[in-house]
């Protein structure tokens, strides 16, 4: 398995080796030793596992949990293809406002580690794209917030006609969320 640090401090892409043969293939989608070497700690205790299925053109995010300790995620795409985004929303972070993207697909078996305090979004590139999440805490609706995917200051490569939920359509820009004190703080 290969690990690659993304442009956002603390976020990692993991790409396992795939072993095909005449029967099909074998892949280890998570390897603790590689994860620990890259991230510097074992995988967080998993409090919730969730799945979303999206049709082509659906965009979800930029989602984050406001209250400390936030919510860490380990994300992969088990069907279809998505363009996955990690955005640094941590006020005071050296990479605040920086984002990076990884194409996740059922063919590549790539996964992304998203530490607490970072925003997460994706654009479904195929129908029935299925994104699976391991999360460090359960869903807490009062603490789950969003920043606009279409914020021109973020400049995510997102089509203006991406299908979004009402919650995502009315989400504030990064500057407005920061001014309102809605963003997580960075702790070194």
63 catalytic? Reply is yes
133 catalytic? Reply is yes
CA 25 to chain centre: 26
Instruction: State the Cα–Cα distance between residues 161 and 169, nearest whole angstrom.
Output: 11
Name the catalytic one among 35, 120, 133, 139: 133
Name the catalytic one among 35, 63, 64, 113: 63
DSSP string computed for 103-172: EEETTT--EEEE-TTEEEEEEE-STTEEEEEEESS---GGGEEE--TT-TTT-----TT-B--HHHHTPP
Helix (H) or strand (E) holding 82: strand 81-88
List active site positions.
63, 133
């Amino acid at each position: 398995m290969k690990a690659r640090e993304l442009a956002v401090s603390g976020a990692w892409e993991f790409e396992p080796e795939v072993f095909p043969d005449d029967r099909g293939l074998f892949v280890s989608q998570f390897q603790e030793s590689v994860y620990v070497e890259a991230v510097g700690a074992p995988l967080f205790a998993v409090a919730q596992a969730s799945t979303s299925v999206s049709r082509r053109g659906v965009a979800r995010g930029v989602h984050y949990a406001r209250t400390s300790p936030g919510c860490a995620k380990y994300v992969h795409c088990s069907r279809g293809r998505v363009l996955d985004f990690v955005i640094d929303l941590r006020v005071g972070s050296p990479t605040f406002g920086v984002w990076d993207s990884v194409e996740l697909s059922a063919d590549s078996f790539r996964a992304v580690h998203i530490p607490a305090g970072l925003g997460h979004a994706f654009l479904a590139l195929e129908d029935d794209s299925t994104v699976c999440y391991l999360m460090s805490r359960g869903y807490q609706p009062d603490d789950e917030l969003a920043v606009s995917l279409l914020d021109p200051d973020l400049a995510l490569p997102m089509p203006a006609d991406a299908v979004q939920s009402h919650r995502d359509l009315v989400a504030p820009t990064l500057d407005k969320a920061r001014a309102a004190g809605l963003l997580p703080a960075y702790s070194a």
